C-alpha cells in the first residue's frame, strides 16, 4: 500500500482478494473553488456556505464564517459541492487538513474537493487522506511553499476494497477517532478550568481591575538563555543520541519532547547546550503572528534534548510563582499585545526582541495568592498529564489501526 507519511508508495502484492490499486483521480471527481471580488459587497452576505482552508479541522462542516450570495457565486470560480464531499487544504498553514461537507457548500481556491464515485465510501476516503497527509505534503515540496496540487492528489494511489469493507474500516476508525476526540475535549475543559480560576482570583488581565502592583517583566525575569541553531535529521532518536528541539515543542502551550531533530555528535560536542529541565518555562521568540510568544512549562528533565536559538529558557525571582507567570505569558490579551511588538516582513517568521519582551507589563499579586493559584494548577496539571498519557496511547493505537486498515490487515469483530 502507499506508505502513509512517506514519499514512496509501495504497492503490495499481498492485498486481500477483491482489493485493487487505483489513483485518487479514478475514484472521485475533484474540483476546487474561488474567491469572489472583495470589492463587490453584494457578492457576500448571502446564504451559500463558503469554506476557507482555516475552517478545515478534520471534522464535519455544517456552517461557515462567511457566506456568498448567488450573484457572488455566479461571478467567480467558486462552485457548489454536495454534502458528504471531502475537502482538503492544498497549501498554506493548514495544508493537508480535511473537512467533510455536512451541507451543500462552496469553497475558496485553496481547497480541493472530492465527490466520491459510487465505488468509494466518503469516510473511507477521509481516513485514507488523513493517513496519507505526510506523503501528500512531501510530494508537494519544491516551491516557495508546499503545494498539494490537484494533479498531485489525482495521481496519488489508494487501495480500494469492496464497498462493504470500506464501510467497516471507516466505522472502526471512527470509533477509535471518537475516543481521541473525547479525551481532547476533557483536556480542553481542564484548560478552561485553569483560565476561569485565573480570572476569578486575579481579575481581567487587560484592565488590572483588582489593582495589583504593576511592574515589567524585566523586574521579575533575571535571565534569558537562548539555545543554539543547528540542523538535524527528522527521525526517531536512539537512546544514546541527542536532539535539538523544534519550535513546535512549545506551540501548543504543552511541552512536546517528541518534537525534535537528531543531531550528530560532531555538530555539538564543542558547544554549550541548554537542556530543558523540569519546571523550566520555555518561550518561543520567533514564529508566525499567531504562534510567536508561545510558552510552556517542562514536565521532566531531558538531558538528551537541547534548545534551538528560537527558544528561550526564563529564570525569574522568587516573588513570582512559576504557574502564575506561565498563565500570564499564555494569557490571550498578553499574547496579542506581545505579538503586535514582533518584527518581520509580511509572510515571514516574526521575531520578538529581548528588549520588547522585557518591557511587557506584569501585574504582581501577593506571593501567597500566587502560591494558592500555583497549588491548584499543580493539581490540575497532574490530572491533565494522566489524560495526555492516555491520549498519546490512544493516538498510537489509532496510527496502528490506520496501517492495518489500508493494508487489509484490520480484524473486525463479528
CA–CA dist 174, 178 (Å, integer): 6
- pLDDT tens profile 307-343: 999 999 999 998 999 999 999 999 999 999 999 999 9
Q: Hey, what's the cell of 84?
A: 458528504
Is the backbone of residue 353 left (phi > 0), alpha (psi -120 to 50) or beta? beta
Which residues in 260-405 belong to E strands, given as ranges? Answer: 260-263, 281-284, 286-287, 295-297, 305-306, 311-316, 350-351, 361-364
The Cβ-side half-sphere exposure at 212, using a 13 Å CA radius, reads: 19
User: Does residue 351 have a pLDDT over 60?
Assistant: yes
CA–CA dist 86, 391 (Å, integer): 26
CA–CA dist 376, 216 (Å, integer): 25
**What band does 252 get if pLDDT is binned at 50, 70 and 90?**
confident
pTM: 0.76
- pLDDT tens profile 86-113: 999 999 888 999 999 999 999 999 999 9
Report the pLDDT averaged over residues 175-202: 95
For the beta carbon of residue 164, count every other beta carbon within 10 angstroms.
Answer: 9
Report the pLDDT averaged over residues 187-208: 94
User: Does residue 298 have a pLDDT over 90?
Assistant: yes
The Cβ-side half-sphere exposure at 390, using a 13 Å CA radius, reads: 16
Give me the helices (H) in 29-162, please.
Answer: 70-74, 122-131, 133-139, 150-155
- pLDDT tens profile 276-290: 999 999 999 998 888
- pLDDT tens profile 300-316: 999 999 999 999 999 99
- pLDDT tens profile 357-393: 999 999 999 999 999 999 999 999 999 989 988 999 9
- Going by C-alpha positions, the residue among 179, 171, 89, 102 that lies closest to residue 133 is 89
Distances (CA, A) of 183 to 81, 188, 394: 32, 9, 9
Instruction: State the pLDDT at residue 279.
Output: 92
- Going by C-alpha positions, the residue among 385, 374, 394, 93 that lies closest to residue 254 is 385
Rounded mean pLDDT of the chain?
92
Q: What are phi and psi of 332, to 5 degrees?
A: -55, -45
CA–CA dist 28, 125 (Å, integer): 9
User: Does residue 75 have a pLDDT over 90?
Assistant: yes
Amino acid at each position: 500500500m502507499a506508505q502513509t507519511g512517506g514519499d514512496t508508495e509501495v504497492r503490495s502484492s499481498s492485498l486481500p482478494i477483491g482489493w485493487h490499486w487505483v489513483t485518487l483521480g479514478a475514484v472521485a471527481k475533484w474540483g476546487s473553488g474561488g474567491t469572489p471580488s472583495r470589492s463587490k459587497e453584494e457578492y457576500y452576505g448571502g446564504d451559500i456556505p463558503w469554506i476557507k482552508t482555516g475552517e478545515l479541522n478534520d471534522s464535519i462542516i455544517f456552517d461557515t464564517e462567511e457566506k456568498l450570495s448567488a450573484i457572488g457565486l455566479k461571478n467567480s470560480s467558486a462552485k457548489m459541492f454536495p454534502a458528504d464531499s471531502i475537502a482538503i487544504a492544498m497549501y498554506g498553514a493548514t495544508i493537508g487538513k480535511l473537512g467533510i461537507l455536512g451541507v451543500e457548500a462552496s469553497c475558496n481556491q485553496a481547497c480541493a474537493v472530492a465527490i466520491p464515485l459510487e465505488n468509494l465510501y466518503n469516510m473511507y476516503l477521509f481516513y485514507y487522506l488523513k493517513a496519507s497527509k505526510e506523503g501528500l505534503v512531501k510530494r508537494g515540496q519544491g516551491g516557495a511553499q508546499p503545494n498539494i496540487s490537484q494533479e498531485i492528489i489525482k495521481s496519488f494511489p489508494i487501495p480500494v476494497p469492496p464497498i462493504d469493507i470500506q464501510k467497516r474500516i471507516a466505522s472502526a476508525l471512527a470509533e477509535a477517532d471518537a475516543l481521541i476526540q473525547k479525551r481532547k475535549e476533557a483536556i480542553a475543559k481542564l484548560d478552561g478550568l485553569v483560565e476561569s480560576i485565573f480570572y476569578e482570583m486575579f481579575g481581567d488581565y487587560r484592565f488590572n481591575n483588582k489593582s495589583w502592583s504593576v511592574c515589567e517583566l524585566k523586574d521579575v525575569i533575571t535571565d534569558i538563555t537562548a539555545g543554539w541553531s543547528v540542523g538535524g535529521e527528522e527521525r526517531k532518536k536512539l537512546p544514546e543520541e541527542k536532539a535539538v528541539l523544534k519550535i513546535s515543542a512549545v506551540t501548543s502551550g504543552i511541552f512536546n519532547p517528541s518534537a525534535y531533530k537528531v543531531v550528530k555528535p560532531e555538530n555539538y560536542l564543542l558547544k554549550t547546550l541548554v537542556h530543558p529541565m523540569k519546571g523550566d518555562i520555555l518561550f518561543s521568540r520567533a514564529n508566525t503572528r499567531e504562534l510567536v510568544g508561545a510558552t510552556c512549562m517542562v514536565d521532566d528533565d531531558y538531558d538528551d534534548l537541547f534548545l534551538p536559538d528560537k527558544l528561550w529558557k526564563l529564570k525569574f525571582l522568587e516573588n513570582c510563582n512559576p504557574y502564575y507567570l506561565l498563565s500570564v505569558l499564555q494569557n490571550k490579551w498578553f499574547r496579542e499585545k506581545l505579538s503586535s511588538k514582533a518584527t518581520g516582513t509580511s509572510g515571514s517568521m516574526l521575531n520578538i526582541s529581548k528588549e520588547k519582551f522585557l518591557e511587557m507589563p506584569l501585574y504582581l499579586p501577593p506571593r501567597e495568592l500566587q502560591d494558592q493559584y500555583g497549588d491548584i494548577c499543580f493539581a490540575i496539571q497532574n490530572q491533565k498529564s494522566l489524560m495526555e498519557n492516555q491520549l498519546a496511547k490512544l493516538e498510537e493505537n489509532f496510527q496502528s489501526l490506520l496501517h492495518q486498515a489500508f493494508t487489509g490487515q484490520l480484524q473486525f469483530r463479528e
